[in-house]
Structure 1
């Protein structure tokens, strides 16, 4: 063999061997990075789907000169009392509790839920209302005394009030 060809052969052998080993490492890193991004995307999508089915809940209690609002929108809890406001993300277990309680309520009959207390008519109690929106359908309850909600809605209202920190 000619010296020139031997030199080229050695160069090719060294270059391609090095290139292959580097490429192998790069493929491993690329596979790891792409796999991680894929899993993060799938996880994000599944969380968005889970939060998409969470009902919107709006609770409002007021009398002359005082009002209180509790609201759940997707995975965020909002609380407003006169000038005090707070909001924070709800945990998955809290969202599951809300979902479980909502599923136990017959929302089609929510307008029929009544209470015996009528203190709200003379401003001795806050008048409260609650509305629940699921799949763009809103279910509104009749007004009730804040301290004495209908028995069907009591677990949900107690859970919402429990989120106030």
Structure 2
């Protein structure tokens, strides 16, 4: 009788672990699909130009901001668990300015930028970072204080954030 109970418990544990694994794998593939769709749409529009996706995140316990600039569209959300991004209407001059600023950023040097302040260490500022995906390769900054980015990306980040207010 104890052998039968042991086999039943073992089967239950193995099957329940498999179910959780499938859910995690499905969640990861849907996230990948979302990013792939953004990059696919972008490559259709910019066949000969370099493609870029910019993601800016800033968060702390009581604050959250996620910005995505891709395909000449700026979208953002202030809701931590939301996948729905609100679109920001930008005119041609604003888009040209953002694209010009983006083009002047040395993406290879993003990881070496120095954060000017460390207020985020004691909850004095939200933790922020910038990630640029260009031609399939990701370039990221170190974490920095929201509202006080490294000097090399300060104008670009400030301009992006200003459109969400």
Does 2:120 match 1:143? no
Alpha-carbon offset, residue 108 of structure 1: 0.6
Is the alpha carbon distance of 1:99 and 1:50 closer, same or farther for their aligned partners in structure 2, counting shifts above 3 Å? farther
Aligned residues: 119
List gaps (5 residues or longer) in structure 2.
1-43
Does 2:104 match 1:94? no
**Counterpart secondary structure, 1:131:** strand
TM-score under structure 2 length normalisation: 0.63
Between stretches 111-120 and 76-85, larger displacement belongs to 76-85
Matches within 5 A, 1:37-76: 48-49=45-46, 53-76=50-73
1: CA distance between counterparts of 2:47 and 2:72?
A: 10
Is the contact between residue 55 and residue 69 of structure 2 (CA under 8 Å) also seen in structure 1? yes
- Which residue matches 1:119? 119
Q: Tell me the alpha carbon deviations over residues 75-112 of structure 1, each in whole angstroms, 9 at most, x when there is no partner.
A: 22111113795214543333322221122221111111
Q: Which runs of 4+ in 1 moved over 4 A?
A: none
1: CA distance between counterparts of 2:48 and 2:56?
A: 19
Between stretches 128-137 and 101-110, larger displacement belongs to 101-110
TM-score under structure 1 length normalisation: 0.63
Is the contact between residue 52 and residue 132 of structure 2 (CA under 8 Å) also seen in structure 1? yes
